[in-house]
Structure 1
């Protein structure tokens, strides 16, 4: 009976000793692992937080990182031994986006309407800033108001009034020939007139006959037809 109890005691002592040795080996293996070097630590932080490390400082058993990303600027502390992030702090929010360039503004407007951008102006400051854009096509002038963030706020449309180009088939010399075919005499003056609303473009030719009578002939500038003949008293 005594021998059985002694044997159990010895086995218990051996088991406890083995447990202590096992725990010691675990602690020793962890504590004796090589700490992360700076390159490994940077790669881990940049990959984990999708940003760029701009500054690294070694502070005892931890690294201190300054990391910049789309979310802003952060301070990150990483344990060299365990590779765990032990502190994360945002020190600056994302910077305001710089002003849109003229090309960016053009692209925004041209996605809405084909045409030619004729002017871009700005008013206001920072978030209240607006861009005024004028775009024209063959028939319409569009006035866009675009926010600092590229949002189209307002569109105004106005019809363009085109001045029709002169379509003259008759030259001044030809107008003189037509006049002389109607009236024989000396041509004193030839003027081209575009014509008022409803009137065609025409030439006014002043001619004096040999007897001193003067006439003014109106000739259609495109067809060459004689529109009128008026005599001076």
Structure 2
């Protein structure tokens, strides 16, 4: 009887151990697995929060390290395996930003392609690309407009500007000269004929003054339109547009927006706090809307 009892005790103990092991695997281990995120989920979290291409994923015991390539460089994002929270974001490699030519360098390029005197220089933006627009007048009083790429120095356009009123003014001057010759011939006639010509002469003078006034008004209108075109070329983006550009790059809540000048250029500095309590300062060009840099603070 003692041996049977001992055997029963051993069997009962083994059953208790088996039941305990199964309970641990069924009730405890699955719960811990439910808290952990997968590699794909970690990549989705990184892709949703940060713009760029995922170029690498490293799996550690407690976290995933996601490497993202963006326009500004490579960033390393550490995500907790247990909670899916972003633990840190660090730039590990910065892309070289394109160099902007100085105005002096652009002037040299312009004068090589259109010798003369630069009367005016302005900047314009087309499809997020900046250009210099120079107005050059040569020794023959001809006016050339030269458009130069602000980064490469390539001359993308060179056109001659012809005054719209020159031909019309020459015709009017010829008409005026012919009228003067006719008047001189009339003056050699009798006094009675001179008297008869007075009224037509006065009418001609009035007509000439009227035409001159119309020419001046047309020129003033052209100058006004030219100023409007130039003002539109250098129009800055609004603060709201700068905020939207920043939020498109980094999701979060905007803390502060400043407009500052640096090296003769205007930039917006937008501070954004993310859901992970990280703070990003995004520098945006105030004319082109291009993101220049992103700085992160814990």
Q: Which has the higher strand share?
A: 1
Q: Which has the higher helix share?
A: 2
- Quick check: TM above 0.5? no
Structure with higher RCO (Cα < 8 A, 6+ apart): 2
TM-score of Structure 1 vs Structure 2, range by shorter chain:
0.3 to 0.5
Greater gyration radius: 1
Q: TM-score, normalised by structure 1?
A: 0.32
